[in-house]
Structure 1
């Protein structure tokens, strides 16, 4: 059975080479439902800019006693290996997670699946494909926006809906 790792991260900025992960959530999905869930704040190796604190609600004080990425890298790698990496705008999340894992000696080489791209194909005509607006339009409850746990739970619900709509061969075998 193919398993999917639905991932969402919060970061100190938009560039994987200069930013740090401040929070990560992973929902393991079997094609029907979430069967495992992991979430943690991560102590970044840099200050969280004020505008990012305002967007996510994650403050420097909140992450001061959180584990470093070094402390969670093995757990995250084992959650992700041998699974399809799924995210809403997968390029962003994958680039950060893979860059952070590589620094700690782990090479993530897994298939990727983007729920933004799938949504555009399978649910055409939406006014926006941002996670929050898309969830509102299709009736998915999306609480705790811009927090990894809330976003990954919403993405998991979206993924379940897309999985039901999709032809497996066309969209999920890549």
Structure 2
């Protein structure tokens, strides 16, 4: 079974769909500049948290060009340690879901490690899920798969815009894999 966490054993399974923006590609050297988290009960978003984050380092010009997030924008934003508690709360008891989950998850784990804490959650990747359950697309990048599926992204390369697009993609995957439910009720058991 490739994705055992998708088999719902109870009506209280929860997911947190997350996206981050960063100062670079390496979680060892880079820092988070923005985070968006949407807690999902398998039917709808039930809680959310978004914030710019002061990375306490310079944001490279090419990152500002890509994301629109500048050093000036984050100068008065909270530092990661100031949002860490909220991130723990919104992800507590949930499966951490992201598009290319290892990127977001490793960055968040590294931020907690810098604070002297261990951060562990079960994870699920919408890239892998899309490849398995939405086959035939030439690319599974978030922008391309969303474009192919007519999922609008309001605010591409910003945490909230990308996370909300991932929420829509995740809901589509959930809907496609509910067997024997005529109305697509996500509360029914499903196997991904």
TM-score bracket for the superposition, by shorter chain length: over 0.9
Aligned to 1:38: 49
Aligned to 1:75: 86
Instruction: Give deviations 1:25-64, integer Å, cap 9, x for gaps.
Output: 0000111111111100000021000000000000000000
Q: Is the 8 A contact 1:81 1:108 kept in 2?
A: no
Distance apart, 1:102 and its partner CA: 2.4
Residue among 60, 64, 68 paired with 2:71: 60
Instruction: Give deviations 1:65-118, integer Å, cap 9, x for gaps.
Output: 100011111111121122100000000000001111222243222110000000
SS at match of 2:49: strand
Indicate the structure with greater helix content.
1
Aligned to 1:90: 101
Q: Is the 8 A contact 2:23 2:63 kept in 1?
A: yes
SS at match of 1:6: strand
SS at match of 1:37: strand
* CA distance in structure 1 between the aligned counterparts of 2:177 and 2:30, rounded to whole angstroms: 34
Displacement over 6 Å in runs of 4+: none
* Count of aligned residue pairs for this structure pair: 171
Aligned ranges for residues 113-128 of structure 1 at < 5 Å? 113-128=124-139
Q: Is the 8 A contact 1:77 1:106 kept in 2?
A: no
SS at match of 1:139: coil
Aligned to 2:173: 162
Larger Rg: 2
SS at match of 1:7: strand
Q: Is the 8 A contact 1:73 1:104 kept in 2?
A: no
SS at match of 1:72: helix
SS at match of 1:17: coil
Aligned to 1:14: 25
Q: Is the 8 A contact 2:21 2:33 kept in 1?
A: yes
Instruction: Give deviations 1:2-30, integer Å, cap 9, x for gaps.
Output: 11010000000011111000000000011
TM-score by length of 2: 0.86
* CA distance in structure 1 between the aligned counterparts of 2:156 and 2:73, rounded to whole angstroms: 17
SS at match of 1:48: coil
Q: Is the 8 A contact 2:48 2:90 kept in 1?
A: no
Residue among 133, 140, 144 paired with 2:155: 144
CA-based RMSD: 1.2
1:134 aligns with 2:148: no
